[in-house]
Every structure is written in C-alpha cells, then in structure tokens.
Amino acid sequence: MTNDISGLKYLLFNINRPVVCTKCSDEFIEGSTDAKSLQEYTKLDVGFSDRGFQVWCRRHELNVCHFNFDGQKPEVDFRCLEKKDPK
C-alpha cells in the first residue's frame, strides 16, 4: 500500500476565500462578542438542498449563500485525510 498522497492535497484545508455570514462578521468586527476569531463566533450549517448546496447561519437564522447546481451533479469528494503521529 502506498502512502503517496500528493494527488490528494485538495482534501487538505484549501480555503482561501472563506464564506462568512455578514451579520456575524459585522458583530465580530464591532467587538460585540468575546470570540477570539470569526470562525469561532459564526455557526454555519452546510448541506445539500433541492436547489444545490446551502450555507446557513444558525446564529442569525438566515441564508449565507445558496449554490444553484441547475440540475447538474458536480464532482464531490467526501474522503478525509487525517494526520497521523509518526511512531
């Protein structure tokens, strides 16, 4: 079995333009929370819908974004890579 994961780097953290809830972001920037980071403060649900894929702010109960797949089935990969401690 090979341990070469060079072709799977897209399964690691690659987010360079995060999707954020505007209200969460505003509240965090205003300093009206005691959260250390916006990631810690925001509470997002993500999942598939009949339309496509939705990001929902649980804190504010509002839509953050909703992708329209327009009936297409984009490629998706649910595998995860875990870092293991070398022994």
Site string for Zn ion, 10-39 (x = CB under 5 A): -----------x-xx---------------
Strands of the 52-57 sheet, one edge to the other:
44-48, 52-57, 62-68
Q: Is 57 among the residues that bind Zn ion (CB under 5 A)?
A: yes
Residue recorded with tokens 């070398």: 86
For residues 53 and 79, what is the distance between their CA atoms, to the nearest angstrom? 18
As measured in angstroms, the least distance from the Cβ of 57 to Zn ion is 3
> For residue 24, what is the enclosing H or E element?
helix 22-30
Nearer to Zn ion, 52 or 55 (CB): 55
Site for Zn ion, rule CB under 5 A = 21, 23-24, 57, 59-60
